[in-house]
Homo-oligomer: A and B are copies of this chain.
């Protein structure tokens, strides 16, 4: 019951989108990033219909946040189910008066897909608050170690109210060049993918390590890549040692399995395994940010499962396709006491109802396997594309359908993306010259074929 192919009536944005853009601009004065308005009644499966009736194959999917396609019947049903109505009408403060079915739904929606070794979960509302609270766990855990497991002292409690040490410790979170973790002050201090996200905003002076710059395909350049990763690992150790020695202890290290906003930068499992070791050695919380990679996109439910770690990460953050924000954590990171990890809503149970269905659909339709197979096909075709036009494309790479390819330069990238959209394929960019593919989990080989036909048309025109 999906549409069979794209169908375009105007260029994008069309006249109706442009008209709406004027109204929207007048209200928010912040619309330069708006591409077009969606008609979400008519959108279906992998097809996003816009306000002008243009029907596009969507491989950008609301910045990688649509799990099982538009208007999936299972989600429609969940919203129309009278038994769910009260949760959509009444948003509870989950930390004070959670709805009585919340524990069971958490079990179904989140614990059933918990990463191996991580059995506790805290819900939040978006990627940023998930990352911010994960960092708070790291700080609290580190300070507790430094007090030999004891509770905060009177001096801690007093000085923190003035933002002063020791209560507000000068501790740090280590992040990587090219990383993106969110846009609130803590998360943004760990983000370094694009200057427009950061410029003019106050930031913490926290350590920033180089992220591996690898050559693709990874197997072909194993030796060079290994050398590059070893240099990065050295730098991580140096930074931790240096910051620790200055009393600015590194409480946590945060990393994406694939740097997404930064340009789809991959590293090998060797690199991540070594990071796990370094974190153990220096007692640094190993925080994996799976906001973009999580929920099956990589061909595993969690991308970090690809690393075959000897022991799991300490905290794993999620959002986007998971519909709710949140993070899994190890028992070692349990925070004792009321109101330390807390806020008014602590997530939104109406999103958990939807996620419960998403997880059911993923499991019943073996969508992880679908992503793996479609992903292999997608990557193979991307490699074909770069072989055909080596002056235009390079570095095809991916895990599952979480794929990317570099374009000659930024201007050409924008030209291709715009032409693709006007021919009915909505693709996204990342980094400075990368096309990122972020299809839904129900994206199939025949969808990929449509996309590559469109690529061919676009390239012929250029």
Contact = CB atoms under 8 A, between A and B. Distances in A.
A423 interface: no
Given A23-B103, A38-B97, A100-B37, A129 B184 contact: yes
B136 A97 contact: no
B183 A186 contact: no
A232 interface: no
A200 B167 CA distance: 5
A205 B205 CA distance: 12
A62 B106 contact: no
A170 B200 CA distance: 9
A57 B397 CA distance: 58
A39 B100 contact: yes
Interface in A189-216: 189, 192, 194-206, 208
Contacts of A106: 24, 27-28
A99 interface: yes
A198 B201 CA distance: 22
A228 interface: no
Contact of A30 (B160, B341, B354): B341
A403 to B, nearest CB: 20
One complex includes copies of this chain to the number of 2
Interface in A415-446: none
A103 B200 contact: no
A177 to B, nearest CB: 8
Contact of A96 (B20, B39, B62): B62
Given A90-B66, A199-B152, A24 B98 contact: yes
Contact of A195 (B29, B48, B127, B161): B161
A331 interface: yes
Contacts of A144: 200
Contacts of A389: none
Given A132-B185, A158-B195, A195-B152, A92 B202 contact: no
Contacts of A171: 202
Nearest 4 CB-CB pairings of A with B: A185-B186, A32-B338, A168-B203, A157-B195
22 contacts: A24-B103, A32-B338, A34-B96, A38-B90, A39-B99, A40-B87, A41-B85, A51-B100, A63-B93, A79-B89, A80-B85, A126-B344, A133-B183, A152-B200, A156-B200, A160-B198, A163-B203, A163-B205, A185-B185, A185-B189, A196-B337, A197-B342
